[in-house]
């Protein structure tokens, strides 16, 4: 992995003949985003990458299930739940995690990209933000 823009852009190195892939996370600007420099831009949320990793880990576990993969899957799901809990708190919202084991399969809000968003069409987009 190479860091191209700390916190926002990375080069993931492939294995074998696979080429490196650029991973770009959303970059917002403003007082809620201290330290972000340069122009704001769209990109992935960490939660989306977590959903990909969960799906990949489920796939691997179906190939050859083992305790280590089961533990990794549980940890990934827990990390996704913590990321979504943090995001909800930061936007003054809350999230019900009664069924967190399926959080990665739920649709996300098309405006903010988060699970179980309660704002719906009432989103406010601040200047300099993409989510």
In order along its 131 residues, the chain shows pLDDT tens digits of: 999 999 999 999 998 878 999 999 999 888 888 999 999 999 999 999 999 999 999 999 999 999 999 999 999 999 998 998 888 887 777 777 766 567 787 777 776 777 766 666 656 655 556 55
Could you tell me the pTM of the whole model? 0.80
43: left (phi over 0), alpha (psi -120 to 50) or beta: left
**Parallel, antiparallel, or unpaired: how do β-strands 2-5 and 21-24 relate?**
unpaired
End-to-end CA distance of the chain: 26
Q: Looking at the DSSP assignment, which residues form a beta bridge with residue 10?
A: 3, 23
Question: What is the rounded distance in angstroms from the CA atom of residue 78 to the CA atom of residue 82?
Answer: 6
**82-113 per-position pLDDT tens digit:** 998 888 887 777 777 766 567 787 777 776 77
**Residue 30 Cα to chain centre, angstroms:** 20
Q: How many residues does the chain have?
A: 131
Question: What pLDDT, on a 0 to 100 scale, did the predictor assign at position 59?
Answer: 97
Q: Give phi and psi for 74, each to the nearest 5.
A: -65, -40
Q: How far apart are CA 53 and CA 70, in angstroms?
A: 13
């Amino acid at each position: 992995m190479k860091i191209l823009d700390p916190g926002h852009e990375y080069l993931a190195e492939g294995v074998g003949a696979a080429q490196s892939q650029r991973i770009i996370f959303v970059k917002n600007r403003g007082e809620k985003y201290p330290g972000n420099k340069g122009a704001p831009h769209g990109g992935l949320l960490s939660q989306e990458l977590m959903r990909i990793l969960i799906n990949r880990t489920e796939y691997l576990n179906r190939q050859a299930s083992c305790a280590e993969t089961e533990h990794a899957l549980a940890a990934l799901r827990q990390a996704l739940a913590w990321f979504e809990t943090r995001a909800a708190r930061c936007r003054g919202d809350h999230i019900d995690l009664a069924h967190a084991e399926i959080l990665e399969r739920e649709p996300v809000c098309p405006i903010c990209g988060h699970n179980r968003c309660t704002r719906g069409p009432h989103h406010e987009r601040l200047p300099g933000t993409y989510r």
